[in-house]
Amino acid sequence: MKEEIMLHPKDTMTSEERLQAAINLQVPDRVPVSPLIYYFAAHYNGIDNADLPYPWNWNRCVNKVFEDLGPWDAYYPLNFYSMEIATFVFPMKVLLPGYDLPRDSLPQILEEEIMPFEEYEWVIRICEELPQMGQMRIFTRWNSRVWDHVGEGWKSYANILPRIMFQFPKWKSEFKKWNKKGVTILYGTGVEAPFDTFSMARGILNFARDLRKAPEVIARASDRLAESYLVTLKPLCRYMGVKRVSLALHRSSNDFISPDAFRKYCLPSLKTIVEELKREGIMSSLHCDGNWDLNLEAMRELPAGCCIMQCDGASDIFKAKEIVGDRICIYGDVPADLLALGSPSEVDEYCHRLIEEVGKGGGFILGSGCELAPNAKAENVKVMMESVVKYGYYN
């Protein structure tokens, strides 16, 4: 019989049970916490950002954060062990610390076209002809444009396949180690939402023009890419043993597009993915960067009790709770600036408010507003983690 590990003495649920209850809009024993940690782990451990992606460094650093400042309920897997793999989620050129930038810099994203306008029709055709290979064919082609060393055609496949064969088994092994600590996994795999994929691959200025002159082409390509994504996501969830996926929405906020454009051209393909995954018993974690206040009513069209909406500080999380909290689990949203510049008492006060107001009636996961600031104060991070024990029990 599998031993059930409780993170805190008053807990009556495992982390997985607690997370499932929150996503299902039920009331767990207490509010779960799941911070998005990446470069903070490097700064906390005193290493350069350039050294963090190596497996031995990543695991050592994030484990020290967990032991010193945790625990947390759900591990947020953001550690790509090669940037070529990250291109499958984030199809853009990037300058990296230790290569293009000083070793302790943060990456810089370049708004350069890697997909010409004519390729929308090619994407549609590829996904219709062989949806099982659509995602792989598209991204291996784009990868050769993002990274000069990758090469085209079969060279691109020869470059990316070994990296995939390393990444997913390594992740799966790490997930098991976290489970032994009593920590569940927020998601096992993920993709950029189809609409956002094209926005990134085209570059923001080109995509803005596309949205004016050929929005229906974007919508059709997004629909076809969604179908190809589903072919990949389902077996990956089975392999990874985590029936949750991350759907990144970096370019669908009201900072980039109007609420009308969101409803017409982004929401349909997103809805297709979420609904089909739900039929397979797979839940969706929606990483909603930017301000989503005017998209909230449209988000009610997504099926209830199977989604997480991750707010990053730009959206009004209290408004999100009011408008969609009866259908979607709300995640967030301790701001980066508060964790970096605020006092422990200020962090404690804000976490208390989140737990009392957004956590009311369940359906809430406490987390950082997007990535935990690299220069966050350790004492503030600890206060955030401890707040779910101090204020988060429902009974």
Running DSSP on this structure, what letter comes out for residue 285?
E
pLDDT at 3 over 70: no
Question: How far is it, in rounded angstroms, from Cα 132 to Cα 222?
Answer: 16
- Give mean pLDDT, residues 292-314: 96
Question: How far is it, in rounded angstroms, from Cα 121 to Cα 263?
Answer: 22
pLDDT at 343 over 90: yes
Counting residues of the chain whose pLDDT is more than 70, the rounded percentage is 99
Predicted local confidence at residue 131, as pLDDT? 85
CATH class of 15-390: alpha beta
Give residue for tokens 């991070």: 381
* Of 326, 288, 328, nearest in space to 308 by CA: 328
Counting residues of the chain whose pLDDT is more than 90, the rounded percentage is 89
More confident residue, 89 or 92: 92
To the nearest whole number, what is the mean pLDDT of the chain?
95
Question: How far is it, in rounded angstroms, from Cα 53 to Cα 42?
Answer: 10
Determine which of 68-77, 81-90, 196-205 has the lowest per-residue pLDDT on average.
Answer: 81-90
Q: How confident is the model at residue 88 (pLDDT cuts 50, 70, 90)?
A: confident
CA-CA distances (angstroms) from residue 293 to 170, 200, 204, 249, 312? 38, 22, 21, 14, 12
Question: How far is it, in rounded angstroms, from Cα 47 to Cα 256?
Answer: 35
Per-residue pLDDT of 344-393, as tens digits, reads: 999 999 999 999 999 999 999 999 999 999 999 999 999 999 999 999 99
Give residue for tokens 């200020």: 346
More confident residue, 195 or 160: 195
pLDDT at 1 over 50: no
Per-residue pLDDT of 250-288, as tens digits, reads: 999 999 999 999 999 999 999 999 999 999 999 999 999
Asked whether the beta carbons of 142 and 153 are under 8 A apart, the reply is: no
Which residues, in sequence order, are bridge partners of residue 189?
245
Strands 189-192 and 364-368: unpaired
Dihedral sign of CA atoms 65, 332, 243, 29 in order: positive
| Both structure tokens of 17 | 């049970």
Give the chain's count of helices (H) and strands (E): 17, 10
Predicted local confidence at residue 238, as pLDDT? 95
Running DSSP on this structure, what letter comes out for residue 292?
-
pLDDT at 2 over 90: no
HSE-CB for 319 with a 13 A CA cutoff: 13
Dihedral sign of CA atoms 223, 205, 116, 146 in order: negative
* Beta carbons within 8 Å of 141's beta carbon, 6+ residues apart: 152, 156
| Both structure tokens of 380 | 């503030």
pLDDT at 56 over 70: yes
Running DSSP on this structure, what letter comes out for residue 372?
P
Asked whether the beta carbons of 142 and 87 are under 8 A apart, the reply is: yes
Q: Where are the domains of the chain?
A: 15-390
- Give mean pLDDT, residues 321-332: 97
Helix axes 131-146, 215-240, angle to 10 degrees: 100
Predicted local confidence at residue 153, as pLDDT? 85
